[in-house]
Amino acid sequence: MYDIPFHKTDISKLSFLITGGCGFIGSNIVEYLLKYNAGKVVVLDNVSTGFKKNIEPFLSNSNFSFIEGDITDFQTCKKACEGIDYVTHQAALGSVPRSVKDPIATHAVNATGFLNMLVAAKDAMVKRVVYASSSSVYGDHPVLPKKEDETGNPLSPYAVTKKTNELYANVFASTYQMEIIGLRYFNVFGPNQSPEGAYAAVIPLFMQAVINKTAPFIDGDGEQTRDFTFVENAVQANIKSFFAERKDAVNQIYNVAVGEKISVNSLYSMIAELGGSSVKPVHRETRAGDIRNSLADISKIHDLVGYEPGIKVNAGLKIAFDWYRKNFG
Ligand SMILES: NC(=O)c1ccc[n+]([C@@H]2O[C@H](COP(=O)([O-])OP(=O)(O)OC[C@H]3O[C@@H](n4cnc5c(N)ncnc54)[C@H](O)[C@@H]3O)[C@@H](O)[C@H]2O)c1
């Protein structure tokens, strides 16, 4: 992966902080930055939903360092931002159902933790902050494809926290003259996304079921659609956002997706075919807080940041399936 660089800037003298770097998307960003010899790469993570094994390959790299700490503690955020040029903030408690079950924990990490990171980044005068928002911000807005400035009411506590991030980012950009870019990820998948735990995402669960030849659950009728996005595309969006030069590209929010909608039923068929499984899925109740259909318009990030989703869903599923077979087969 990451055979083609997404940046032209010399990053060998630049320092990067990746919060949530032990997690799925964060560890992929770290892999990219170290592959292209970034000067300094720091991860801040409390290893709550992420894993030390995701950063193990980097521990021997002298450009890499790990701070085990919690973003709900402001002093920890402040220390992590010292001497940093670029921050990408990925740390959060993901999952809509988790937020429905425990909105207080989700708020503490996703909203208060985000605010801590913004203040710490401001105090350290970092050059730019990129952060993970989410397609959940579109909430009950019915129109497809989703365009950045047409959102509805959030449908879950998780979506409220991501909407809150966007509001704070906007205010910090104008009040403190910071450079901040928000990325609304649409169902990202790929290597390092865990199939374990109560809040695992659909693709890791389907991959594991196909490998083990067991029946996965599908929520509702399975005709709900998503814009599944291979993680290399999400990494590209982060790297290109760090270095986007156009003035009007900064202090914006962007969809990060492929621009293809696939139903959960078709997704399972694609993965079952990859693994040669003929096991039928089991349908169960629809989940609270879920949106029915999701598809991104990606023209804004294409036009302003130069993002092009290089890996389409099928190709991404193949790479991911090989990874799951190797690590969980
Ligand atoms: N994966 C997706 O499809 C998707 C979609 C939309 C948005 N997002 C957002 O992207 C970001 C990354 O998601 P991911 O899928 O890599 O999730 P992940 O759970 O794999 O990674 C999140 C990381 O944050 C860390 N973390 C959690 N709470 C923390 C705290 N209090 N202090 C420090 N670290 C903490 C976890 O240990 C973990 O390593 C999150 O903000 C998530 O909400 C992800």
The answer, yes or no, to whether any atom of ligand 1 lies below 6 A from the CB of 26, is yes
- Answer positive or negative: Cα dihedral of 262, 268, 273, 275: positive
Residue with tokens 């003035």: 247
pLDDT confidence of residue 204? 97
What is the per-residue burial (b if ≥16 Cβ within 10 Å, else e) of 231-244?
Answer: bbbbbbbbbbbbbb
Distance between Cα 280 and ligand 1 center (Å): 31
The answer, yes or no, to whether any atom of ligand 1 lies below 6 A from the CB of 29, is no
pLDDT confidence of residue 292? 87
Distance between Cα 299 and ligand 1 center (Å): 25
pLDDT confidence of residue 31? 98
The answer, yes or no, to whether any atom of ligand 1 lies below 6 A from the CB of 159, is no
Distance between Cα 194 and ligand 1 center (Å): 11
The answer, yes or no, to whether any atom of ligand 1 lies below 6 A from the CB of 88, is no
pLDDT confidence of residue 235? 98
Closest ligand 1 atom, CA of 25?
16
pLDDT confidence of residue 198? 85
Residue closest via CA to ligand 1's atom 20 equals 23
Q: What is the mean pLDDT of each run of 10 residues along the chain (329 residues)?
A: 95 98 98 98 98 98 98 98 98 94 98 98 98 95 95 95 98 98 98 93 96 95 96 98 97 98 97 96 86 93 97 97 94
From residue 16, how far is each of 123, 130, 149, 160 by CA, in Å? Answer: 16, 11, 29, 28
Q: Are strands 262-263 and 225-226 parallel, antiparallel or unpaired?
A: antiparallel
pLDDT confidence of residue 329? 81
* Domains of the chain with CATH codes: 15-186+231-257+290-310 (3.40.50.720)
Active-site positions read 158
pLDDT confidence of residue 289? 67
Tokens of 327: 């690590």
- CA-CA-CA-CA dihedral for 255, 38, 62, 54, to nearest 10: 20
The answer, yes or no, to whether any atom of ligand 1 lies below 6 A from the CB of 185, is yes
Closest CA to 111 of 167, 179, 56, 41: 167
Closest ligand 1 atom, CA of 194?
20
**How many other C-beta atoms are found inside a 10 Å radius of the C-beta of residue 212?**
14
- Answer positive or negative: Cα dihedral of 31, 258, 184, 195: negative
Cα separation, 112 vs 271, whole angstroms: 38
